[in-house]
Structure formats: C-alpha cells, structure tokens
Structure 1
C-alpha cells in the first residue's frame, strides 16, 4: 500500500456490532509512506458506503469495508453468598454450561462491621474468579444477597394496578428500615386470601437499600464486569426450575422449592412461575 503514485489515501473500515448498534473503525493508509493511522470508533456509517459493500469510492480516496464477525455471549450469573461467589455462564443456545466456578471469599470479610473493607475484598475476589477460566464477555446478572433484601408479606384490598402500587408503597413506608427515598422496591401479587368477610390480595414486598446496592454494582463494574441486571434469590431460584417446564400441566402444579445456603435456607411455594409464598429460615 505504500510508495505508490496515488495521491489519495486508502481507508480500511472495520465494521462490527456493539449491542444493537453497528460500529465502525477507520484505518487510514498514507499513499506515500504506507503508514497507517487508526481513527476513532463511530456509529455513523462511512459516506457512500455500507456494511454490505466491500469497496467504494469517496471524496478523499478509495475505501474498503471489512465486516468482522460479531459474537454475543450470554451474561455471567454472579451469586455473591455469605462465604463464596458462585458464577455460571451458558453457551449461546443455553444447551450447555460454558463455565462455572465457586471462589471462596476471604474469611475475615464482614459487610456488617466494615462494608468498605468488604467491597475491597469482594472486588479482588471477583477479579481472581476469572483467572484461568473460560468465561466470555463482561455482561453479568447479579443476585442480591439475602442480607441486603428486605422481604415482607402484606394483605391489601383488591384494586386496580395503579392503586395497588400506591397502597404497597404506603404500607412499605411503615415497615422498611430505611428511608423510602433510598429504597428500591418491587412487589409480587400472590393470590386472594379470605380473611373473615373480606377477600384480600396477598402481596410480597421486596426492597433493598439503594446506596448499598449502587456501591456493590460499582465494585462489580470496577472488577471488569458490566452489570446488565439485578435479580433476587427467590426469583432466580424459581426461574432456574420453571425454565425447564415443557408441559402445560407443569404450569398448574404447586411446587415447594427449598434452596439450602450456608447461613440460611429459602423456602418457596409457587404455581408455575408465580410465587405464592417465600420465607428465609436461618440455619
């Protein structure tokens, strides 16, 4: 490409994908010296060209488009437990496990007495968890630990969804041990319960302390992961089983799930993918 009689540069465009967007990287080759200059990533396609063309002309010279294959990896599931971190990643079609690992946390870590020290040790453990293993990509789904999850059942009168949301938040304000301004709240409608002459709706409230959650996600991000979503243990346990259902009859059965942990056990009763009851029992 160097030492030619050409006066205009040659531009090689590398094209791939980042999420749902096409991205482009120009490499400009000087026609006299043959030296290449790498430009900046852009989401704007080059003028007079597209990702489907391999060669096209522009005002500044001849351009080539090289389409790089895009590989999307499934997210890495990260479950931060009391004594260890569990990680798992499935292959593209979810038909096999790409990689799985259990890494012990330093025994001296205590999020209750020294949260900053805990985050520091957690970050180091997360970085160590990928060494020598075959995890691919950086996207991660993080499971909130039980100690950071406020769980409470209430019974409210049946109403439209908007009114129900307001009622749940009012009830939660009297029970959550921190300000509602710092609370991240979700709730699950269970089933109708008859209490005396009233027909009430059982609602499961799940909440966490937002500043603590944000600090945790920041630590995970600094460790080289990209948190894509946050899950809670009861829902994660339920989905791991219901995703295997193949018959309609399975959706109608009521099932008791017991997930035994190091410091506590979570008990879930569900019908299909609908949680009816959830409770943590200390070991």
Structure 2
C-alpha cells in the first residue's frame, strides 16, 4: 500500500494559474506545471504593444484585452485562472516607521491617521503592508513598514479588464513581490539566500528595485526611469519614431544586424542611453544609501538584474562602472523543462524578461511564499 501511494504521489501534477505580466510595451503569459520535484513551462506567449496605444489609457486597455484574447485563442494555456500584477503606474509604495510591532496595532495605527498623513484614505484605497524589520532611529527602536496601496477604482478596473479578456482572477500581486519570489528561488546557495540580495528589473515604464534578506523583503522602490525613457531619448536625438527607436536598439544588440548601422548613428544611440543611465544609477545609489543607513548594513556588492533591458550590454556595463558593483543577469527559468515551449533562440539561454511572470505562477502554486506570507490588510 505504501508503494502504491508513493506512485500516485509521483504521478500527481500541479498546474499553475496563468501568470500574466502586463507592461506598457508587452503582454506576457506563462504557465508552469510541477510533477514530483520537477518543474516545466507548459505554455508561454508574448504580444508586443505599439507605443502609439500606450499613451492613452483606454487604448492601452483595449490593446491589452485584444492581446490576451489573441494568446488564449491559440489554445496552449490550460484553464483560464490567472494571477496578475497591479499596474505599476497605479501602485503606491511607501516606507514608514512606526512605534508599534504587532499586526493589529499596525493596522490600528494606519487607520487612525498614519495613512492620512501620506495622502491615502482607507475608504478610497486598498492597502497592504508588511514589516521590513526593527531599526534604530536615534535612541528609539522603530518598526520599518513597507506599504502598498492602490485606489479601489483602479483595482476594480483591473479586475474588469481581466474578466473582459476571458480570465478569472484567483490572486493579484505586485511587481516587487512577484519579482522577489522568482529571483529568490533562483539563488543557488543557501548562503546567498541568507545575505542581503539586491534585485533590479528595468521594465518598460519603471525600474523596480528590491533588497531582501533571509527570504524577506526589507526594501522596495519603483523608479520612474526605464526603457521608455531610453527609447524616447534615442527617438528625440535621431528624430525618429519611438517604435523605430526600439527597432534600432534591437538591431544594435544583434551581432549581425548591428554591422548595418552607421558608426555615427551607433554613437548617438549609445550617448542617448548614457544620459538616462546616469540618472538611473544615481537613483539606485540613493537606494543603497538608504539601506545602509536604515539597516546599518554594508553596501551590497552585487545586483541581480531582470527584465528585457538586461539584454542591453551597454546598459549593464555602464551601470557596473557607475555603481562600482558586480551585476549578474538572472535566469528565472533555469532548471525548468522548456521542451514544450518555443522561446526565441537568441534569448533562450537567459529568458530574464520572464522573471515577473514566473513569480506570478509560483504564487498561484503556493511556492516560495515566505517573503510575503505575513502581508496584512
């Protein structure tokens, strides 16, 4: 009987909900399946969104719904349950210092004036928080709180968008939590998991920066400098459209296609990128300083990068020089069985742009929830 039970356990599969990662430039959908201790990607697809629709909120919503329906129509995804991220443009992240430490006391403090002082209202905003740890402020010990908030109307619109696309929402996450869940899992050694780790995703509209330690998020910030700003700078300097700037940058990353670009044009693109990278590096340095001062920790000596911009070697090398720090590009699907999906050959080795979608799938499977398992209303 024992042997038969073990056979059934071995055969049992756990299929994740769809992990839906929507940005201003693309819709990504991913689905995972586990059997025994092995994990496989059973479906993955992506639709690029035109820059023309992203400037208008209603057009962007329509384009997103159309992209989701287009992917679902191919029939690769099992079920229609989804775990999605709140739109980064609507998400509010604040770090607060409170005198209370118990969850009920924190909730009471937030409801009795704390959130009002930072421009939030309990009746108009959905608010979640978790504790980042105890810190010293002078002679006092304070509780560092990371607070996530979104207007209830924006949350309602997000859920309605999912339903219009034919999906059923089973959970909603934030980019920082999904990113942390994914990248924390990819750390190879226990020693790496226990030390302070810095994770950065240069996304479409925002760069997300997280610092975690011992499986817990202790710092999270969204920086409004990302690939959109780089593309706009290239577009402006060369006098071309945004989509043309995106295509030109893509050609520069290709060893063969880059040879077709004139040296003068190549230099303008690189110079345009540097002006944005300088600003991004300053913001990341300020985050390092905040961490070092707040948590009395040493400045991290390595950053793990995710997102489509992690393929941009010019950006990675420039940030290395500016920050004086090692940068590792993540492989969120390393060790997963990819035989059932058709990722682009030029990106198959890393797939760093799938980190958020991977984290959403893992949330749906209840895997690696330690980082956010104490999140409270």
TM-score class, shorter-chain normalisation, is 0.5 to 0.7
Task: Tell me the residue number matched to 2:178.
Answer: 236
Matched, 1:132 2:132: no
Task: Tell me the residue number matched to 1:87.
Answer: 29
Contact 1:75 / 1:89 at 8 angstroms: preserved in 2? yes
Equivalent position SS for 1:173: helix
The 1:176–1:129 alpha-carbon spacing in structure 2 relative to 1, beyond 3 Å, is: farther
The 1:71–1:249 alpha-carbon spacing in structure 2 relative to 1, beyond 3 Å, is: closer
Q: Distance in 2 between matches of 1:151 and 1:81?
A: 18
Contact 2:86 / 2:158 at 8 angstroms: preserved in 1? no
Equivalent position SS for 1:159: coil
Matched, 1:107 2:51: yes
Which residues of 2 match residues 48-63 of structure 1 at below 5 A?
none
Q: Distance in 2 between matches of 1:234 and 1:206?
A: 10
Alpha-carbon RMSD across the aligned residues, in angstroms, is 2.3
Using the TM superposition, give the Cα deviation of residue 110 of structure 1 relative to its aligned residue in structure 2, in angstroms. Answer: 4.2
Q: Distance in 1 between matches of 2:137 and 2:153?
A: 38
**How many residues are aligned here?**
211
Matched, 1:219 2:161: yes
**Residues 91-119 of structure 1: CA distance to partner in whole angstroms, max 9, x if unpaired?**
243611111122122433347xx544433
The 1:117–1:262 alpha-carbon spacing in structure 2 relative to 1, beyond 3 Å, is: closer
Which residues of 2 match residues 108-123 of structure 1 at below 5 A?
108-110=52-54, 114-123=56-65
Using the TM superposition, give the Cα deviation of residue 130 of structure 1 relative to its aligned residue in structure 2, in angstroms. Answer: 2.2
Structure with the larger strand share: 1
Matched, 1:174 2:125: no
From 132, 147, 157, the counterpart of 1:205: 147
**Residues 180-213 of structure 1: CA distance to partner in whole angstroms, max 9, x if unpaired?**
2121100110011111111111111100111111
Task: Tell me the residue number matched to 1:265.
Answer: 207
Using the TM superposition, give the Cα deviation of residue 247 of structure 1 relative to its aligned residue in structure 2, in angstroms. Answer: 5.8
Q: Distance in 1 between matches of 2:221 and 2:186?
A: 23
**Residues 259-282 of structure 1: CA distance to partner in whole angstroms, max 9, x if unpaired?**
111222111110132111111222
Task: Tell me the residue number matched to 2:218.
Answer: 276
Q: Distance in 2 between matches of 1:105 and 1:173?
A: 37
Higher Rg of the two aligned structures: 1
Task: Tell me the residue number matched to 2:99.
Answer: 157
**Residues 140-175 of structure 1: CA distance to partner in whole angstroms, max 9, x if unpaired?**
001112111001111111333211111134312221
Contact 1:99 / 1:133 at 8 angstroms: preserved in 2? no
Equivalent position SS for 2:51: coil
Equivalent position SS for 2:73: coil
Question: TM-score, normalization: structure 2?
Answer: 0.52
The 1:276–1:71 alpha-carbon spacing in structure 2 relative to 1, beyond 3 Å, is: closer
Equivalent position SS for 1:270: strand
Q: Distance in 2 between matches of 1:137 and 1:210?
A: 27
**Residues 200-233 of structure 1: CA distance to partner in whole angstroms, max 9, x if unpaired?**
1111110011111111211211211111100000
Q: Which has the higher contact order (CA 8 A, sep 6+)?
A: 2
Q: Distance in 1 between matches of 2:116 and 2:131?
A: 18
Q: Distance in 2 between matches of 1:222 and 1:206?
A: 26
Q: Distance in 2 between matches of 1:255 and 1:153?
A: 18
Contact 1:172 / 1:205 at 8 angstroms: preserved in 2? no
Equivalent position SS for 1:109: helix
